Amino acid sequence: MPHPFLSTSRRGLLKGLGGLALGAPLFSALRGQAANGQAERVIFFYFPDGVVGPSQNGEASLWHCTGSESNFQLSETLGGLSNHKDRCVFFNGLSMGATDSGSHPGGAKKLLTAADYGNNESIDQYLARTAGWSSPWRHLLLGVQANYNNASGDKHISYPVAGSSLPPQDDPRQAFADIFGSYNHGSVDSGGEAAPSARGKVIGAVKEDLLELRGQLGGVEKDKLDYHVSSLEELENRLGGGGGGGTAASCGDPAIDTSAINDGNLYDAGTFPAILRAQTDLMVLAMECGITRVGTIQCASHTSELLMSRFAGTDFYDPNYDMRSHQASHYGASHNRSSREFSAYLAQRKWWVQQYAYLLDQLASRPEGDGTMLDHSIVVLVTEVCDGNTHLHDNMPFVLAGGASGRIRTGRLLQYSGDRHGNLWVSVGRAMGQDMGYFGDSSSGPLWGLVDG
């Protein structure tokens, strides 16, 4: 039985086929091409405990950009995105509302649900069952020590139903095995024989059901079904290495590097960077192979006990002094660079931006259609509060990257005056081809100026 983070859609697919009378190109996502100017995929990348925002003493945010829409400057913290500045949209002035403002749990509940107390399905789950419903895996929910110390409930950000969150899969070895087969957990230095991939688990089964359904249809509907079967066969070729281009090699012999990870260190702080790298690579690989269109990476959880001071090779590595993410976030009322907490916190936030940049690098390095995977994607960076010391839910530090197949003009700074962040999720949904008017309990429609068309 696979972990619930992997949501297979075989029966849902057949139900949808009957309801739609096969009238839409349901497998456009599996063909690796964006349909009708829609984003091909969306990824939500979460990190905990906010950023260095405006201080209680009135010092300016070290996160938010300054300038005009097209002529703006990246902040000190966002410098790691300099190579992707033209591929991003930065936001000032988005609010998650007053309810539970000042609270990490309240922010986590509202973050993807856009509803007070998490009283809504989250946007990743909504898109998984709409835009992603015909994919072999509707939703890929990966964690990086997100379940540490038996974390549950409001520690998690993905809500399949109102008020009830879903735990991510923290082990990239198990996640890889569930998606691609056993491949010795996909370690790049393993020499074992590859087991059957996801096509043997899901694609073949869906094809079998579709061919059975074919015998019940008339001429026109049968022709449409043949198109969908052809799309699945194309995906089978890609997964089996029979297709062309850069995708075939990775899908025919998929691998991620899990060599540094074992059962004994899955929740050791020093292993966190290696796990995050593996989960990021897995997310990109699964999307490159057409297995999913919707993904979430949850790094740790709010009020994190994560000892980031044990991340070897980072600017904040300190083997002689343990510094937790949440501990560092309470740096005080001023941006005091001589403070150990403040210096560590600022360096940690820069590191999270660099990890997001790595995800963008991987998508941008893979050709797709008339550009790259990043050109056809939406990748959103999120956290549950603004400033880590005040915990306020205003001026939320979100970043969106990717061109969404031409639906989003990037290289911009968009300024708002307290607009609710649920409107951002409406815009993301529209760019994914969903006719959304509202999302959550306070949105008023899409964000002005974000999505074209």
Say whether pLDDT at 29 is over 90. Answer: no
Terminal Cα-to-Cα distance of the chain (whole angstroms): 42
* CA dist., res. 366 & res. 354, Å (int): 19
Using alpha carbons only, what angle is made at residue 338 by residues 335 and 341, rounded to the nearest 5 degrees? 70
Tokens of 9: 């859609």
At 352, the pLDDT band (50, 70, 90 cuts) reads very high
- Write out the DSSP string of 249-309: HHHHS-----TT--TTTTT-GGGHHHHHHHHHHHHHHHHHTTS-SEEEEEES-SS---BGG
Query: Which overall architecture, per CATH, does domain 35-170+267-431 show?
Result: 3-Layer(aba) Sandwich (3.40)
- Tens of pLDDT, residue by residue over 136-183, are 999 999 999 999 999 989 999 999 999 999 999 999 999 999 998 843
pLDDT of residue 37: 85
Buried b (16+ CB within 10 A) or exposed e, 119-140: ebbbbbbbbbbbbbbbbbbbbb
Pick 220 or 157 by higher pLDDT: 157
pLDDT (tens digit per residue) in 1-11 = 455 555 544 43
Query: Hey, is 127 helix, strand or coil?
Result: helix
- Say whether pLDDT at 198 is over 50: no
Residue 192 has a pLDDT of 26
Q: What pLDDT does 90 receive?
A: 98
How far does CA 90 lie from the centroid of its chain?
A: 17
Report the share of the chain in percent with pLDDT over 70: 77
Higher pLDDT: 187 or 84? It is: 84
CATH 3.40.720.10 boundaries in the chain: 35-170+267-431
pLDDT digits (tens, 9 = 90+) for 94-127: 999 999 999 999 999 999 999 999 999 999 999 9
Give the confidence band of 204 by pLDDT, cuts at 50, 70, 90. Answer: low
Average pLDDT over residues 314-326: 95
N residues, the chain: 453
The answer to whether the CB of 191 falls within 8 A of the CB of 255 is no
Higher pLDDT, 47 or 26: 47
Give the pLDDT of residue 152: 85
